[in-house]
Amino acid sequence: MCGILAFFSSRGDAGAHRDAVAGALECLHHRGPDETGIDVVDGDVVFAHKRLSIIDVESSHEPLSYANDRYLLTFNGEIYNYLELREELIRECGAIFATQGDAEVVVAGYHHWGEQVLTRLRGMFAFVIWDRLARRAFGARDYFGIKPMYYMDTTDGLFLASEKKALLELAGPLPVDGASLSHYLTLQYVPEPRTLHEGIQRIGSGELLRWTPLDGVEVERWFRPVFQPAPVDDEQKVFDRIRDTLRDSVRVHMRADVPVGAFLSSGIDSTAIVALAREFNPNILTFTVGFDVDGYSEIGVAQDSARHLGVTTIPTVIGPQDMMDALPKIVWHLDDPVADPSLVPLYFVAKKAAEHVTVVLSGEGSDEFFGGYTIYREPLSLNSIQRLPHPLQRGLRAMSRVIPRGVKGKSFLERGTTRIEDRYYGNARMFAEVEKRVLMRRNDGSVRYTDVTAPIYAECTDLDDVTKMQYVDLHTWLRGDILVKADRISMAHSLEVRVPFLDKDVFEVASTLPVGLKLPPRSNATKYALRRALDGVVPPPIVNRRKLGFPTPTRVWLRGEMYEWARHILATSGAGELLDLGYAEDLLEDHRRGEADHSRKVWTVLVFCVWYGVFVDGTIDPGIERNQSALLTKPPLSSPVA
């Protein structure tokens, strides 16, 4: 696990950029405080990294060389089947290894299998390999986008980094991307591959990158998750397969040479991970977080689960001042704003976990794979309308327009007569297009949420509406919100988060489930197949418990303890050049008076204002201390062998 920063020179003058790259690397110190390295290779490349040692702690230094130094690898992530791949490479290819780590398996696999090595990897990764003989770079991100990779293509060459802030150090001030801002205000995150800065993009989830000095950069999709729901003859066999596959995923995700713990909330996902993990380590430590506000703490349920499972859980309680104090640091670590309030409790539970362990297991991905969001039931409730002939649906649509807002039945008719492609754009729905025309100072209406979702819907036209919603969330919400916060907030504390649900073998099972095994028609349950698979594994009270997921009392605090703080941010932010902050202040006042619950919208604007103060006009100090560690020195690389 590490923070990556690399420069590939178009002019053969990489050495001239070494000091600038070394300085920018210190932005990534939190990703790898155990080891720092800077290497200039043949005038073509500067490899810089910060290492968090997890596997093969005493070796596997980066950039890791292979085949007489022909290939050089810089790698972020973990390959959980590296032991099996290592044996296969030795047995079938005669591969020779100099380390005991997982990173060398990646570069050895590339040497013997080429780009097809990607399909054999089981894990989370973002890496780049430099072929010194061919003068070619090859990089990739994992299947579902667990590990990040940003890039900046310039006339000098290609820059790659684990976090955008390192590239901003090298690029200097860049304009705010208006389209990305518009998408953020709708979705509460910036969707891949964009960022909020023009000129810097992300390699997308499941994408690879090729680069040469002559041809420049090429990005291509190498993995596309495909849902293939199929009829089931024997449900119990399906449940058994889910349980056995998830158990195996947890087993390999616990491979590490450092202590491994787990997050524990009140829901089935994290509880399932802990229940299975304790089979391999009965003494696993768990960590939970809550608030001293009624209805907003999962600590009690998590402690009950921990007692039932016979494990220790360490709680953390936070208050409104903690939230206000931490937000600038959180936003700095995020690179781009994510207006998900659960980032704050995650920040504090990760901080606590890092005091005890280096790796934690977490339950992300279960909802997108197995149908866990309540909104996924919507198509089932609308079947009665959507089965009607189209002329009748058009009549009902016209009727809905004359029904006053707030009258029972209006929303049902509107949703029932609207295609899934036009009504669902992911789990978060912040500002509507009409609201953004008021809020945004530069908005001609040319950017819409469908710019993000339409290409995704075009890939899944043959799926039922429920599975289409899963597919959209897998490509937007999971990548833009869930996994961004999991990676950035854990790495803020030099803590590695592993997500056993987001395993290619687990997806292979989940992708075949029919709708009836995810959302049974005569029940309010979600993730039905997963819940049945975990009978006898997860404590009975948790199996059917409604998902909470570290809830945050933002709604309550913005009416009380956080009101003056929020008003001050809106009144003083330089982001007023892009947003009508007076409109946002009106929303805050309406919220305070209890006229409406605008907490999520207000929070979305507040997070952007803090981001603007940190990354654009510099008026907000995130309080991050720059590291001044000495650089690791290694012997020079030998010449590549033809």
Kindly list the catalytic residues.
Answer: 2
Do 152 and 199 meet the contact criterion of CB atoms below 8 Å apart?
A: yes
CA distance 460 to 24: 41
Q: 634 with 358: CB under 8 angstroms?
A: no
Q: Length of the chain, please?
A: 642
- How far is residue 424's CA from residue 420's CA, in Å, rounded to a whole number? 6
Q: What's the rounded Cα separation, in Å, for the pair 444 and 329?
A: 33
| Contact (CB, 8 A) for 421 and 457 | yes
- Rounded CA-CA distance 73/84 in Å is 20
C-alpha to C-alpha distance for 3 and 409, rounded to whole angstroms: 52
Paired residues of 160 in beta bridges: 6, 151
What is d(CA 313, CA 302) in angstroms, rounded to the nearest whole number?
A: 8
Cα 239 to the center of its chain, rounded Å: 27
**Distance from C-alpha of 478 to C-alpha of 470, rounded to nearest angstrom:** 10
Type of residue at 309? L
The 123-131 sheet, strands edge to edge: 64-66, 71-79, 123-131, 136-141, 207-212, 216-221
Structure tokens at 426: 């992911």
Joined together, the tokens standing for residue 102 give: 């997982």
Going by C-alpha positions, the residue among 306, 294, 310 that lies closest to residue 264 is 306
